[in-house]
Each structure stands twice: as C-alpha cells, then as structure tokens.
Amino acid sequence: MAGSAPFAKMNGIGNEIIVADMRGRADKVTAAAAIALNGDAATKFDQIMAIHDARTPGTAYYIDILNSDGTGAQACGNGMRCVVQALAAETGNKSFTFETRAGILNAQEHADGLISVDMGKPRFGWQEIPLAEEFRDTRMIELQIGPIDAPVLHSPSAVSMGNPHVIFWVDNDVWSYELDRFGPLLENHPIFPERANITIAQVTSPRTMIIRTWERGAGLTKACGSAACAAAVAAARTRRTGRNVSLLTPGGGELNVEWRDDDHVVLTGAAEWEFSGSFDPSTGAWARDTESAA
C-alpha cells in the first residue's frame, strides 16, 4: 500500500486503541481515515494514538490523539499505556517523555509488565475545565437528568484531566443507569463548551470504586483512563475515598490511580497487543500483516 503507515491494534483493559506509527512523516491521520477505520469491525476503536517525531526538546515523541468520530482528544491514559508497551517492545527503553495536546507526560513500563502514566495535575476551576458558567466549587455543579423533583442523576463533580469530565455519584449498580441514552445528551449539554466525558461512579470502599463512562467523541467504552483519574481525584476531593484507589471498569479490568502529594495523578494498568497492519492515513484503507495473529 503506497504511502502506508504501520499500526498496531491494541487495548488498554478493554479500551480499544490503534497505535499508528507516523514517525518520519509530515502528514497526519485524517478525520476521514479515523471514521473509516472505526467503521470496520476489525479495526473499530475508541482512540487512535498517532506517534509523531518530537516537536519539543526533552521529549521523545509527539502523540496526536483522535476519537472514533474523527475529532481530536487531549488525553487518553489507556492509549498512552498502549503506546508505551509498543515502543518498549521496539526500543528496549522502559521510560518515555511524551508531548500531547494536554502537555508533557512521563510514562514507564514496570518489570511486571504494568505501565504507569503521569497524567499531570488535575484542574478544578470552572474556566479551566471548561464550563460555560461560573461555579465557585466544582466538587458539585448544578446538572441533572430526569424530573426536577426526582432526578435520576444529579449534582456531579467536574474536573479537567487535560480534557473535561463530570462524575455522577450513585449508591447502587452503575449498570442500572441508561448511560447510552443519557450520555449523548450530557456530552453535548450547553454547559460544556468543549463537550465532556460523562462518568457514573459507585464508591465501594475507601480504596475501591466502580465506574462506567460515556467518552466524548467515542461513546460507551469498556474503559477510560482519564475518566478513571478524574473519578479518583473527585472522590478524594469530596472525601469519599483516599488518594490511592483501584477502579473496576466495564471491560472487567482494573486501574490504579494515585493522586500524589505533588498534585500529579499517576495511572497504572495493563496493555494488550492484538494484531498489526498498515494503513493509509488519508483514507483509512488498511491491510493486516501476514505474520500477525488472526
């Protein structure tokens, strides 16, 4: 395939990821290519992580992130772990410094195969998230779904992890809520000028949570790393948990989030390779590597 670029289909505890190698090229993965790849059952994904040559001294690579609808994303913790695993296997390096739209991120692969990504500092100001109107305390904002006198979901926490998140707190099963119906409405609510990731969270102990997320630009996903970070930070900020928690995600995987004393949020979890191939970054036409696993 002329002009093609290699890619790996991977997942971060169920978060479907395409890692595209765009090093040494001047072009980018187009929105049309992303939509085409997502339309194929074999390459359906939540995010594309496109590895580009470094733009800033002190960083190894620039990572351009696209959602399955072709829009750009600032952050993707599960995708970053897939990038680290792919690059570690190729280079033998275990630690990396990346540049993304959300800023500079450090990540490393541990001896047990788990990968940690420093997702940076959370932001809580209403203009930083951003929200369309002022809330002095974003631990709880005025937003609800359902009747005014008996809302189904209400009073979420809001936080930015480089991308906007809101977390609705529930006492019962996160699966009992129609997030596939509420998600699109909430993602595109006028209060979110850049749209938002919507999470339903159930705290099960001071160190454990269950979350379910509607991702901005991707819809329902089996896991969302930045949402896990946002939920963990918001839980600690509202005194529901401590600053180190494990989160169970819909894909059955578990993520650990530590909100360190230096205010940085570190996400740790696994990544899995599925198959590799090559694709046209302008159209999305692709072919599987012949030696790749079926």
76 catalytic per annotation: yes
Task: List the structure tokens of 126.
Answer: 């209403």
The helix (H) or strand (E) run that includes residue 78 is helix 77-91
229 catalytic per annotation: no
How far is it, in rounded angstroms, from Cα 273 to Cα 275? 6
**153: helix, strand or coil:** strand
Catalytic residue among 10, 33, 37, 76: 76
HSE of 150 in the Cβ direction (CA atoms, 13 Å)?
Answer: 0
Q: Considering only CA atoms, which of 124, 118, 127 is closest in space to residue 95?
A: 118
Q: Considering only CA atoms, which of 57, 56, 74 is closest in space to residue 65?
A: 74
Catalytic residue among 224, 230, 231, 233: 224
Buried b / exposed e along 124-154 (16+ C-beta atoms within 10 A): bebeebbbeeebeebeebebebeeeeeeebb
Q: Which residues are catalytically annotated?
A: 76, 224
